[in-house]
Amino acid sequence: MKRILCILAAGVFLLCCGCQNAKTLQEPVDFPTEFSASVHIVHKSAEFDADCTYQADGTVTLQMQSPEAIRTMTFIQTKESCTVQFLGLELKTPEILLPDAAFVKLLSAAVESAKSGVRCAVSTEGDCRIYSGMTEAGDTFRLEQSRQDGALRTLTMYGQDLTVTFSDFVRM
């Protein structure tokens, strides 16, 4: 009888410990609805640094920081249009006319897909939450998010030869 009670007690103990560990590992990390970050963009053979903001309505703003020749350039991507500001000039084009391979459009599309969960699967790897998906244009992406603080880390689109590395991430 004591043996049965010991086995039963051990089973309950293991069951409770297993539940606590499972709960800790499966804590949800929400996708940021608004954020700002410094980004390092490698697109094909070009490299850029920019300050990035993402707003709840899906607007992405990139204030270019380097290379020096485009430091005063700003891209504002919305669902309807893309605006490029440079040296006091402003060019606004309907979103449909912007090439699908434009890096600001690729970044916007991947973040929107991960945020909405449309055409996107979520998994975990170590301390990262991984969003693997496809944009409306058919580009596949992998977006890594810290499970600890929810900061975005890296966006990769192999088919477009695009990598975006996030730093100084702040939820707004």
| 64 within domain boundaries | yes
| 23 within domain boundaries | no
| 49 within domain boundaries | yes
What integer pLDDT is reported at residue 103 of this predicted model?
Answer: 85
53, 89, 99, 139 from 74: Cα distances, Å: 11, 11, 17, 24
For residue 107, what is the DSSP state? H
What integer pLDDT is reported at residue 4 of this predicted model?
Answer: 42
| 19 within domain boundaries | no
Number of domains in the chain: 1
| 27 within domain boundaries | no
What is the distance between the alpha carbons of residues 95 and 78, in angstroms, rounded to a whole number?
8
What integer pLDDT is reported at residue 29 of this predicted model?
Answer: 64
Q: Which domain holds residue 142?
A: 35-171
Burial class (CB in 10 A: 0-12, 13-18, 19+), 16: exposed
CATH number for the domain including 115?
2.50.20.10
What integer pLDDT is reported at residue 21 of this predicted model?
Answer: 36
Q: What is the pLDDT along the chain (172 residues), one digit of tens a residue?
A: 444 433 434 443 333 443 333 333 444 468 999 999 999 999 999 999 999 999 999 999 999 999 999 999 999 999 889 999 999 999 998 877 777 668 888 999 999 999 999 999 999 999 999 999 999 889 999 999 999 999 999 999 999 999 999 999 999 9
What integer pLDDT is reported at residue 136 of this predicted model?
Answer: 87
| 62 within domain boundaries | yes
- The helix (H) or strand (E) run that includes residue 116 is helix 103-116
| 41 within domain boundaries | yes
What integer pLDDT is reported at residue 137 of this predicted model?
Answer: 86
What is the distance between the alpha carbons of residues 117 and 129, in angstroms, rounded to a whole number?
13
What integer pLDDT is reported at residue 100 of this predicted model?
Answer: 65
| 24 within domain boundaries | no
